[in-house]
Amino acid sequence: MKEDTKLIHAGRSQQHRHQIVNPPVYHASTVLFPTMDAIEEAQAARARDERPMVYGLSGTPTTFALEDAVVAAEGGHRAALFPSGLAAIMAALLATVRAGCHILVTDSVYAPTRNLCDHLLKRLGVETTYYDPLIGSGIAGLIRPNTAVVFVEAPGSLTFEMQDIPAIAEVAHRHGALVLMDNTWASPLFFKPFEKGVDMSIQAATKYMGGHSDVLLGTVAANRETWPLLRDAQRQLGQNAAPDDCFLVLRGMRTLRVRLERHQANGIRLAEWLRGRPEVARVLHPALPDDPGHAIWKRDFLGATGLFGFELKPGYPRRAVAAMLDGLEHFGMGYSWGGFESLIVPCEPARIRTATPWRSEGQLLRVHAGLEDVDDLIADLARGFERLSATG
């Protein structure tokens, strides 16, 4: 079966759905067993890593359906679900670290991941070193005997630097470290982490998989070797995703391909148009041929989603930028992304980074290209630039 067909069929086992197209939403804590034999059989099946129904927290047909769809789309051996993307990141890290170990995390990482490393993980005796996202096989120089994990994320969701993940994974594995990836930007469709050396891949399904700005959910897909670590951590942490949220993400996945194609096309059109504007210093979008990360993107990725950045030329005062942004009609100003609507936010990556300085003189703006008609988006931004230049 080709990938797009798999996305339509994944997680739709006939067993529980009585000929209805979508699997039902099971709300459950208690699961009843008719006999003592049945309860013992279910526990034995769970010990064999099968998915019997034992208790709501350990999964229902609704959660299993989404787990299957994640593996069908992203690859790996098995997947586990979490109540948010950040909870999924926490679980993947807690599954793979121990007190006294060292981890390497890209300096372009999602800022709340950094917060987790700098506080909770530090308190538990895990030391984090942030590395230059462009380091490639040079990561070898930072590996220590106790390095347990190399965490990658490409492109970074503020600065859009690409990482040479196969090169990093080769070095990490040679030294016995695992590679964890936040693969949210590409979604499961545009980067295949397990073909590039990643051991556990995290998705904030809140973004493109959900796709409608109305659900929080995280997924971790693991290869065969790391699955037992992830499974045990999920049980120990007592986390899973809520049934209605699983339903929404599963529904979002049926249309993921067609939505992504439009996000990609609109994003590239906007990025190209912005690159030609006199107010813009540079555009950060790996699908543009002159982007520093373009060669890696072309080699390793299967497409671009709708999230990218651009930097204004220096010298525009804050009130001019505010006039530009406040008056936009089609771009909401808000965090998160991956929904059907366009968004724009100002960001300050220089303040977050510690390993490598982020140099920019003008204001950086992050754009999420939604599914609107791109001509309306361009006209809206053009009026924004008029306000920017008119406000002295």
Q: Which stretch binds ligand PLP (CB under 6 A): 71-79, 81-89, 230-238, 288-296?
A: 81-89
| CB of 211 or CB of 384, closer to ligand PLP | 211
The helix/strand/coil state of 178 is strand
- Could you tell me the smallest distance in angstroms from the CB atom of residue 335 to ligand PLP? 8
In the block, tokens 């007592």 appear at 238
* CA distances in angstroms from 175 to 25, 146, 147, 169, listed in the order given: 44, 9, 8, 10
**How far is residue 41's CA from residue 331's CA, in Å, rounded to a whole number?**
54
- Could you tell me the smallest distance in angstroms from the CB atom of residue 336 to ligand PLP? 6
Query: Do residues 153 and 182 touch, judged by C-beta distance below 8 A?
Result: yes
DSSP state of 117: I
Q: Which stretch binds ligand PLP (CB under 6 A): 80-88, 260-268, 291-299, 314-322?
A: 80-88
Query: Do residues 30 and 55 touch, judged by C-beta distance below 8 A?
Result: yes
- Could you tell me the smallest distance in angstroms from the CB atom of residue 111 to ligand PLP? 9
Amino acid at 288: L
- Could you tell me the smallest distance in angstroms from the CB atom of residue 321 to ligand PLP? 23
| CB of 42 or CB of 352, closer to ligand PLP | 352
- Going residue by residue from 169 to 208, which x/- string records binding to ligand PLP, judged by CB under 6 A? -------------x-x-------------------x-xx-
| Position closest to ligand PLP via CB | 85
**How far is residue 309's CA from residue 52's CA, in Å, rounded to a whole number?**
45
Backbone angles phi, psi at 55, to 5 degrees: -165, 150
Query: Do residues 367 and 338 touch, judged by C-beta distance below 8 A?
Result: no
The answer to whether residue 305 forms part of the interface with ligand PLP (CB under 6 A) is no
Backbone angles phi, psi at 120, to 5 degrees: -60, -50
The answer to whether residue 84 forms part of the interface with ligand PLP (CB under 6 A) is yes
Among 110, 190, 194, 316, interactor with ligand PLP by CB under 6 A: 110
Amino acid at 135: I
- Could you tell me the smallest distance in angstroms from the CB atom of residue 284 to ligand PLP? 15
Site for ligand PLP in 116-135 (CB under 6 A): none
- Point out which residues bind ligand PLP (CB under 6 A): 84-86, 110, 157, 182, 184, 204, 206-207, 216, 218, 336
